[in-house]
Amino acid sequence: MSQTTEQKFMALLKEQASYGEAIGLMAWDMRTKAPKKGIDNRSEVLGVLSQKVHEIQTSDEMKSYIDELKGKVTNPVVQKSLEEAEEAYDKTAKIPTKEYREYVTLQSKAESMWAEAKENNDFESFRPYLEKLVEYNRRFADYWGYENHRYDALLHNYEPGVTVEVIDRVFPQVRQALTELLGKIQSAPNQPDPSVLKGQFPKEMQEKFSLEILKRMGYDFEAGRLDETVHPFAIGLNMNDVRVTTKYDESDFRTAVFGTIHEGGHALYEQNIDPKLAFTPLATGTSMGIHESQSLFWENFISRNEAFWENHYDLFKSFAPESFKDLPMDDFYRAINEVKPSLIRIEADELTYCLHIMVRYELEKALIGGEIEVKDLPQLWNEKMEEYLGVRPANDAEGVLQDIHWSGGDFGYFPSYALGYMYAAQFAYQMKNDLDIEAFIRAGDLEKIQQWLTKNIHQFGKMKKPLEILNDVTGEGLNPDYIIQYLTEKYKKIYQF
């Protein structure tokens, strides 16, 4: 029996997804287990496979299916897949195949060079790679087109529907509120004592505690694993293979514990997508902002919640060194929620986190817009950190080289972190109207929370656009008032002002 056009289209999408899974597996391996000498060869292989995906996306066969099926499909999954395929075709077809392959190869080599440059505090060794990545992204944005700002074309890749105009309206509002709140916190007389959290905490015990918390969150270890890496990430190869990575610091357990919970939030999203979306472009999170809302929800709204530690503190102490055994829970809770401007984004406290993102957003917006050049980044980075957070990096390793994103060409990605935090606050507010969150957390019943997230967000994958999900769940569009309200209420209580 011959296949219908619809079946042929879905089979082609499956082939494309299969190459994508192989690329994802290689990327995970390069960031976790791959020997250094294999990086160049692996980068070439990734280039070949990525070129194959590019060829499928822009093939005459794909175009013929899109043209033939458009307006004639009744199955909603096929219809949405068709829309995604058409957008990918239109966007990818504008980039010459040879140029795209060169770019993917450059990405892999640049990421390896970034890791080396960071270790050696040597921005100049990485600079030529970054200059090429920036030039490619400027060119790609021009290929794709935009209305008001070149950066909008890149933003669309991560957060469809959000533009520079939207961000430039919302970010200053949040920055002003956070800056004012930070001032009150810093002058408050009742400061927590972060020194109570210091002390050697063996890596293997941190890992055991992190694994237990992931399990309680609902992470399925038959569909994932936890590994160690330089820069933590989660990667969904398919909904039955979603991997989490973390970084251990034996002198500060917070890096691994909260980092693992954060990545676990990403993984739960990918593990709970509706199985009917498998092997389609819809079998992933709808945007990086919605994705980040899930990781930040678990990290901040759950695991930095007082009720969470009322339930889990005894478990924590069973893995912790002796120095933690007599530490009162209230002192512990206040210490893990200390507000103190820092240099490293992934170690930032809840309050100053968005300020880190705003530094990056403003720099890369100017970079893509051609207002600044790569050589200007270290100095401008340091100046903005001092202006927004009152701290100045002593070197580039703790400054402009600290993040992996630019080495992978991920321009337009950073704003999604702050947007995700705003989404998370809106979701949390709505969840409190539907569930007694505090009671469930205090009882250790995290399953009810996970079920709510799956019902309202996870299951849809890319069937819904990010702002559509936000509106369906909360009844309104992006509203920064919720994140401001949440942080103000929480820190007034902790700092007692």
The answer as to whether 146 is a domain residue is no
Domain boundary among 70, 88, 122: 122
Q: Is the dihedral of CA 430, 433, 436, 442 positive or negative?
A: positive
> What pLDDT, in 10s, does the model give residues 87-107?
999 998 899 888 988 998 899
Residue 242 phi/psi, 5-degree rounding, is -120, 110
Rounded CA-CA distance 64/179 in Å is: 54
Domain boundary among 122, 137, 153: 122
Rounded CA-CA distance 252/36 in Å is: 28
Rounded CA-CA distance 252/201 in Å is: 7
Grouped pLDDT means (10 residues each) for the chain, 497 residues: 88 97 93 87 89 92 96 95 95 88 91 94 97 97 95 96 94 96 94 92 96 97 95 94 96 94 98 98 97 97 96 96 93 96 90 97 97 97 95 96 95 96 97 94 93 98 96 96 97 94
Say yes or no: 101 and 211 in one domain: no
Report which of 388, 411, 403 is spatially closest to residue 346, judged by C-alpha positions.
Answer: 403
Say yes or no: 220 and 308 in one domain: yes
- Residue at token pair 């392959």: 101
Structural domain of residue 11, as residue ranges?
A: 5-122
Say yes or no: 175 and 272 in one domain: yes
Say yes or no: 250 and 182 in one domain: yes
Say yes or no: 93 and 200 in one domain: no
Q: For residues 234 and 270, is the Cβ–Cβ distance under 8 A? A: yes
- Per the structure block, which two tokens stand in for 351? 């309050």
The answer as to whether 150 is a domain residue is no
Is 458 annotated to bind ligand? no
Residue 50 phi/psi, 5-degree rounding, is -65, -35
Say yes or no: 117 and 169 in one domain: no
Is 312 annotated to bind ligand? no
> Which neighbouring-strand residues pair with 70?
none
Say yes or no: 253 and 389 in one domain: yes
Residue 245 phi/psi, 5-degree rounding, is -125, 160
> Which neighbouring-strand residues pair with 241?
238
Say yes or no: 216 and 278 in one domain: yes
Q: For residues 8 and 65, is the Cβ–Cβ distance under 8 A? A: yes
Number of domains in the chain: 2
The answer as to whether 140 is a domain residue is no
CATH, residue 228: 1.10.1370.30
Q: Cα angle vertex 360, ends 42, 282, to 5°?
A: 55
Q: For residues 259 and 232, is the Cβ–Cβ distance under 8 A? A: yes
Say yes or no: 106 and 245 in one domain: no
Q: Is 263 a catalytic residue?
A: yes
The answer as to whether 127 is a domain residue is no
Domain boundary among 72, 89, 122: 122
Q: Round the CA-based radius of gyration of the chain to a whole number and report it.
A: 23
HEC-encoded secondary structure of the chain: CCCCHHHHHHHHHHHHHHHHHHHHHHHHHHHHCCCHHHHHHHHHHHHHHHHHHHHHHCCHHHHHHHHHHCCCCCCHHHHHHHHHHHHHHHHHCCCCHHHHHHHHHHHHHHHHHHHHHHHHCCHHHHHHHHHHHHHHHHHHHHHHCCCCCHHHHHHHHHCCCCCHHHHHHHHHHHHHHHHHHHHHHHHCCCCCCHHHHCCCCCHHHHHHHHHHHHHHHCCCHHHCCEEECCCCCEEEEECCEEEEEECCCCCCCHHHHHHHHHHHHHHHHHHCCCHHHCCCCCCCCCCHHHHHHHHHHHHHHHCCCHHHHHHHHHHHHHHCCHHHCCCCHHHHHHHHCCCCCCCCHHHCCHHHHHHHHHHHHHHHHHHHCCCCCHHHHHHHHHHHHHHHHCCCCCCCCCCCCCCCHHHHCCCCCCHHHHHHHHHHHHHHHHHHHHCCHHHHHHCCCHHHHHHHHHHHCHHHCCCCCHHHHHHHHHCCCCCCHHHHHHHHHHHHHHHCC
Say yes or no: 178 and 58 in one domain: no
The answer as to whether 132 is a domain residue is no
Beta-carbon contacts of 433 under 8 Å, excluding residues fewer than 6 positions away, are none
The answer as to whether 155 is a domain residue is no
Say yes or no: 318 and 411 in one domain: yes
Rounded CA-CA distance 252/369 in Å is: 39
Is 262 annotated to bind ligand? yes
- Residue at token pair 């999203």: 269
Say yes or no: 365 and 277 in one domain: yes
Which residue among 111, 159, 207, 263 is the active-site one? Answer: 263
- The three-state secondary structure class of 235 is strand
- Put the strands of the sheet holding 234-238 in their side by side order: 226-228, 241-246, 234-238
The answer as to whether 130 is a domain residue is no
Residue 252 confidence (pLDDT): 92
Percent of residues in the chain assigned helix, strand, coil, to nearest 5:
70, 5, 30
- Look up residue 147 and give its amino acid: E
